């Protein structure tokens, strides 16, 4: 029973390149959340998706960032034209039901650590 799978674990990109982060939720989970973790800042919510729908993207930067969760395949967080400030750990989590309700919160992946050089 695999947990939330994120890949790659580590990603190095040069400024201006694109970064694509993948997340496969736990089996039976239909809700996916992306969070960004910067040192000393904790986890910041970015986006909440269900299959083929973006439910809440209030935490996503307005430019260069996008996310999808297609009918088939993993959820993708895409960062275009990366800058040094995008360097962070990006965590994906999944849940089987409404967020925070009755099912133990979220199950997190191990994260993707993006370094922009």
Partner 1 sequence: AQSVTQLDSQVPVFEEAPVELRCNYSSSVSVYLFWYVQYPNQGLQLLLKYLSGSTLVKGINGFEAEFNKSQTSFHLRKPSVHISDTAEYFCAVSDSGNTPLVFGKGTRLSVIA
Residues engaged in binding partner 1 (CB under 8 A): 4, 6, 33, 35, 40-45, 48, 55-56, 91, 93, 98-102, 104-111, 113
Name the minimum Å distance from CB 109 to partner 1: 5
Nearer to partner 1, 18 or 112 (CB): 112
Please enumerate in sequence order all residues whose Cβ is within 8 A of that of 59, keeping only pairs 6 or more positions apart, or say none.
44, 45, 46, 47
Name the minimum Å distance from CB 67 to partner 1: 13
Nearer to partner 1, 66 or 107 (CB): 107
Within 13 A of 73's CA, how many CA atoms are on the CB side? 10
Name the minimum Å distance from CB 98 to partner 1: 6
Nearer to partner 1, 72 or 104 (CB): 104
Is the sign of the CA dihedral 64, 5, 90, 16 positive or negative?
negative
Using DSSP, state whether 63 is helix, strand or coil: coil
Name the minimum Å distance from CB 50 to partner 1: 11
- DSSP 8-state secondary structure symbol assigned to residue 100: T
Q: Are 17 and 82 in contact (CB under 8 A)?
A: yes
């Amino acid at each position: 029973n695999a947990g939330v799978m994120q890949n790659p674990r580590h990603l190095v990109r040069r400024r201006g390149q694109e970064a694509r982060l993948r997340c496969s939720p736990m089996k039976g989970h239909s809700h996916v959340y992306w969070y960004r973790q910067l040192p000393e800042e904790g986890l910041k919510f970015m986006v909440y998706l269900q299959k083929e729908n973006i439910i809440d993207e209030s935490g996503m930067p307005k430019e260069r960032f996008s996310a999808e969760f297609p009918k088939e395949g993993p959820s993708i967080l895409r960062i275009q034209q990366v800058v040094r400030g995008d360097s962070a750990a990006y965590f994906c989590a999944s849940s089987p039901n409404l967020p925070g309700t009755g099912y133990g919160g979220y199950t997190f992946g191990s994260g993707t650590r993006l370094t922009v050089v």
